[in-house]
Amino acid sequence: MAGRLQGKVIIITGASRGVGEACAVACAREGANLVLAAKTLTADPRLPGTLHDTAAAVEAAGGEALVVQYDARDAEQSTMLVEKAVARFGRVDAIINNAGAIFWAPVADWPQKKFDLVFGVNVRASFALSRAAIPEMRRAGGGHVIMMSPPVNTTAAPGKAPYLISKLGMTILAMGIDAEEKEHGIAAHALWPVTGIRTAATVNLGMGEDAEWRTPDILADATVELLTRDPRTCSFRAWLDEEVLAEAGVTDLTKYRCDPDHEPSCMSIELVDPGWAARHGR
């Protein structure tokens, strides 16, 4: 039986591990062909996962994969990435702006190079890839743009301001794309986890432990649900993963726990919206 994304061509950045890898495999199970973009082709013992590992997982799940080594900070490489996708698969139906950089410190302690890195990988790269892909999605008759970014909130988050500006910039970019491209059948979404997600970044930066995290599969499954919607009838929304899955009828989230005996905290949404848990009885 054909999957819900049968024949769709999806570009994913940051696809060598973590959320990007999980999204790629989940989309492949639904019949999609994946264009996998990231910097890592060779295994590094400090940071497991390569594009070739993800490609093998995609093919095992029934999809086809194109591996493209890609520096998210280079706008010309975003154009090249789209061109390679079209050369291989003939079209682009969706992009998932997942590649990300993170650094936390008070503003006075942010090195300029760190600021430029975070903005380059987060908002600038998302702009460059979206700008390059939109004409191809128009030619395909529509499509989806997904930003891995949070709902807009103006509550102060000490120590995280530049990082959050970059992530909120992605969300506002999605809002603009959605409004501008409606007539072309292109929908844009932001997607953010309620809880922390166990990835190489969260582990290496000491951002929690298994009892506080869910697996990347929860974001991957929410991504698939957004991609299966008709983009011509969607309107922008800054989604939380739990909201997407609830609308799809998935309310038992225990399978996403990293520690099967503990329900994770609302750590990720509290990062961008302090007080969210209290307002929602969590």
Residues 6+ apart with CB under 8 A from 179: 236
Phi-psi region of 236 (alpha: psi -120 to 50; beta: other; left: phi over 0): beta
Neighbours of 29 (CB within 10 A): 18
232-to-42, 142, 156, 187, 246 alpha-carbon distances in Å: 40, 7, 36, 7, 22
Q: What is the DSSP string of 147-191?
A: E--PPP--S--TT-HHHHHHHHHHHHHHHHHHHHTGGGTEEEEEE
CB atoms within 10 A of CB 209: 15
Residues 6+ apart with CB under 8 A from 74: none
Our answer to whether residue 256 is catalytic in this structure is: no
Q: Considering 163, 192, 239, 256, which one is annotated as catalytic?
A: 163
Nearest to 237 by CA among 156, 179, 185: 179
**Catalytic residue numbers?**
163
